[in-house]
Structure 1
Amino acid sequence: MGTAFTTETLRRSIEGDTAAHLLSLYADDAELRVVDRNSQPSNPRVLHGRGEIAEVLQDVYSRDMTHKVEHCVVDGDNAAFSESCQYADGMRVLSESMITLRDGKIAEQIMIQAWDE
């Protein structure tokens, strides 16, 4: 899985139907911080390494939902993107991510997400 990060690989990976392609964009020692209703900014959920990130991505991609990259901007070793998701029942999720790249892989990501309640 030697996939390097580009706007197009990110789009194909997120909009795909399995977690494997998206996971291939992360460095082995990547860190993902998630801020949402359950994990407030002062105490975000922090995932360390591809193993922990894989567990979450596999859970997400096992659900009956679609994923779409709305916007992506890359500036050197930094990128930001918006992702919208929709469950089969119509419930929507929106996330915004800021990432740091190292050697063409995601090394750090902070994701802020909100969903319909």
Structure 2
Amino acid sequence: MGTATGPTFDTDTLRRAIEGNTGNTLLALYTDDAEIRIVDRTDQPSHPRVLHGRRDIAALLDDVYGRDMTHSLDQCIVQGDRAAYSESCEYADGVRVLAESMVTLRDGKIAEQITIQAWDE
């Protein structure tokens, strides 16, 4: 049985984390044992990219936030121990990325996440 979220996870906190300049604020929203599954053109549904724990997630966020791009939280819904959000990103050269995520929360932090993303080619 999940734990309802507290005031530590809300749309404003997620927005500040996603739209920030580093991944550190976003990383703080994950549990130590969090798992992220990513599905995209490269990592298809039968073989998603799976990240286990904050170390793997930190490496991904360092890579993403080290790029010349902007990030925006477009929509977010938080209900109990679940949240869903849409994020759009744009590289300096105009290439756009859209990501949809569904998360499970534990003690106000992200414990599980599945992200489906697509980008311009």
Which of the five TM-score ranges fits, normalised by the shorter chain? over 0.9
2:75 to 68, 71, 77: 71
Aligned equivalents of 1:25, 1:112: Cα separation in 2: 19
Letter in 2 for 1:27: T
Which residue does the alignment assign to 1:87? 91
How many residue pairs match? The answer is: 115
DSSP 3-state at the match of 1:28: strand
1:113 aligns with 2:117: yes
TM-superposition CA deviations, 1:67-96 (whole Å, max 9, x none): 000000011000000000000000000000
Which residue does the alignment assign to 1:14? 18
DSSP 3-state at the match of 1:89: coil
Sequence identity percentage: 70
Which residue does the alignment assign to 2:9? 5
Structure 2 residues without counterparts, runs of 5 or longer: 1-6
- How big is the shift at 1:61? 0.1
Aligned equivalents of 1:45, 1:89: Cα separation in 2: 26
Aligned equivalents of 2:90, 2:8: Cα separation in 1: 27
Runs of 4+ in structure 1 off by over 2 angstroms are none
DSSP 3-state at the match of 2:57: helix
2:47 to 43, 49, 55: 43
Structure 1 residues without counterparts, runs of 5 or longer: none
RMSD over aligned Cα atoms = 1.0
- How big is the shift at 1:6? 1.2
Task: State TM-score, norm by structure 2.
Answer: 0.93
Task: State TM-score, norm by structure 1.
Answer: 0.97
- Which structure is richer in relative contact order (CA contacts within 8 A, separation 6 or more)? 2
Letter in 1 for 2:38: V
Greater alpha carbon shift after TM alignment, 3-12 vs 50-59? 3-12
Which residue does the alignment assign to 2:36? 32
